[in-house]
Every structure is written in C-alpha cells, then in structure tokens.
Chain A
Amino acid sequence: MTDSAPDTLVTDDMIERKGVWGSERVSPPIAESDIRKWAIAVYWPETPPAIFWDPEYAAGTRWGGIIAPPDFNPFAWPIVTPKDKAAKAEKPKEKPKRKLRGMNGGQVETYGVPMRPGDVITMRNRLRDWEERETRLGLTLFSYSEMEWHNQDGELVKRRVSTAILY
C-alpha cells in the first residue's frame, strides 16, 4: 500500500480533545534551594541576581521576598511510580493518517504573579485549536496547545501557547 496524501492531518482524537482541559498536575512545594540552583544554572558562570537567592535583600524589594525566575520549572524531577508507568504504557494511541514530521513553531508565554518558595503550582493543558494549509512542505498542520499554571491561591502564574508544525 502506498503512503497516499490524505485530505487532512487532523485526527479524530484531536477533534475529541479540542478545547478540553486535560487532567491537572500538581507540583511539589517550591523550595528556596530549587530557585537558587535554577538561577545558578541559567546564569552560569556569572552570579545570579540576589532577588533569587538572598532573603534579606529580597525582603527590601517590591516583592517582599525571594521570587523565582519566570521560566523556573517547579514540575522538574517528578516522582514517577510504577503505577504511573503502567498507566502510560496502556494508553492507546491513534495512528496518524501518515507518518508525520514535526517542528517546534515557537511559543508565547504570558506571566501573572511570580512563583515564591512554598508555592504549589497546578498545571493544566489543552489542545486549543489548529489550522491546516498547503505550504512548501505540502499539507501542513499548525497545532496550538495551551498550558496554564495557577498557584495555591488560584492566581494565574503563567499561560503558554505553543505551536507545533506537523507535515
């Protein structure tokens, strides 16, 4: 059987998931040392700004204490249990209409309140929308995913809309 060009790259699974928020993930409480190590890594080999590691200095700023850089990831290093692995392995996957190649089409992140030590962040994701058109790569799907983070007080920390290009 030949790999004939389909009329659309949109799958039934995508149509079902469009606009629907998936299950939430909750981060462990953010530790001051998590923020300090993050700042050291992203500023390496220079010393990061004191707002990320010096409580005394940070207390005198508008923030009143240490905050995390906006790109800080509180979901790094999750505990993955054997049960989680089994559930992932069992999840059925819909086959694409043909073998697709993908590219990261970029992202837009908007920021609300900053993350602080002790915060617990809840994340949710959804497939927001897509568009499909002919490009020099042939039939191309631009898929837009949305991710939101809220803190324990329900305040928006971050919203990311990312574009995946599939062809």
Chain B
Amino acid sequence: MTINVYFEDVNVGDTIPAWSRKTDFMHWNRYAAVNDEFIPIHMDDEAGRAALNEQGAFGMGNLRYAYIVNALQDWMGDEGQIREIGCQFRAINQKNDVLTVTGTVTEKLVEDGEHRIKLDIDVVNQNGDPTCPGHAIVTVPARS
C-alpha cells in the first residue's frame, strides 16, 4: 500500500511533481496497439503532412490525456482516486517533443464524505507552450 499524499499535508498553491516523456513512434505505436488507434496521421509522416502538419505524423490526444492521469496517479499513490479531469487540446504533439504534465493545487474541500483536492493542470512542451490546459479533482486519504 502506497500513501503518497495525505489531505492535511496538501496546501493551496502546492505543485505536483513534474511528469515527463519524450514522445515518438515508440510511444505512439504502443498506444495505438492497446487502444486500437491505428490512424494514419499518428503513424505516417506523409499522412501527417497531408493533414497540414509540416513535421509529419503527430501524437494522439488520448495519450496526452493518459499522461495527465499518470502524473496524478504517481503523485497521489494508490490510495487516492481521480474523480474528474477536464482539458482542452490546444497544440499538436510533434515527434520528439518533451511533454511535461504540471499541476497546481487550487482548492481543498470535504464533500460527500471525501477529501477532495482541485488542481489546475496542463501538459507543456519543451518550449513551455501549454498544450492541454484544464483541471482535475482527486480524492486522497486523511490522517484523521
């Protein structure tokens, strides 16, 4: 059992540990294999260029979403639970981009018997561009 975060130890303004991946076909093809997401724009540079992305094939929005899930999971530990994630896909995930999930605590509350933490989240690329701004709500254990 891994408890990484107790409700009492979290403060508004805290940031979660940055969670990063340098993404390319090795990541995208594995995700395509488990999600049955064999779409040419994610697999073939010519198809990516035909879709007006000069750099060729580009990454899946769903995988970027998975990275947000992973960052929250790794921060909370296994006793926590993600209750909500909302985000907008704002920029393309280009090949070899380094994507980093960021999160900042905005609110703490006890609701429906759960200790909930609200966060602003994003996935930024190596240039610091926000590619997936949004929010999350998680529940974590309390000491008392």
Contacts and interface: CB of A to CB of B under 8 A. Distances in A.
Interface of A: 34, 37-38, 40-45, 49, 51, 60-63, 69-71, 73, 76-78, 104-111, 114
B40 interface: no
B30 A40 contact: yes
Given A49-B78, A61-B78, A42 B63 contact: yes
Kindly list the 3 A-B residue pairs having the minimum CB-CB distance in the complex, ordered from nearest. A106-B88, A108-B86, A42-B66
B79 A109 contact: no
A37 B34 CA distance: 7
A110 B81 CA distance: 11
B134 A111 contact: no
Contacts of A109: 84-86
A43 B31 CA distance: 10
Nearest to B33: A41
A155 to B, nearest CB: 14
Contact of A76 (B2, B36, B69, B88): B36
14 contacts: A37-B33, A41-B30, A42-B66, A42-B67, A42-B69, A49-B74, A61-B79, A62-B1, A69-B69, A69-B70, A106-B87, A108-B84, A109-B85, A110-B84
B35 A76 contact: yes
Given A44-B27, A62-B1, A62-B79, A69 B87 contact: no
A73 B35 CA distance: 7
A109 to B, nearest CB: 5
B1 A42 contact: no
A70 to B, nearest CB: 5
Interface in B62-106: 62-63, 65-67, 69-70, 73-74, 78-79, 81-89
A35 B69 CA distance: 15
A106 B21 CA distance: 22
A44 B106 CA distance: 30
B79 A111 contact: no
A46 B31 CA distance: 14
B26 interface: yes
A154 B19 CA distance: 34
A146 to B, nearest CB: 14
B66 A69 contact: yes
Contacts of B130: none
Given A42-B70, A71-B62, 11 more contacts: A37-B33, A41-B30, A42-B69, A44-B21, A60-B1, A63-B78, A76-B35, A76-B36, A106-B87, A108-B85, A110-B83
B35 A51 contact: no
Contacts of B61: 104
Contacts of A108: 84-86
Nearest to B79: A62
Contact of B88 (A37, A73, A105): A105
Contacts of A49: 73-74, 78
A104 B84 contact: no
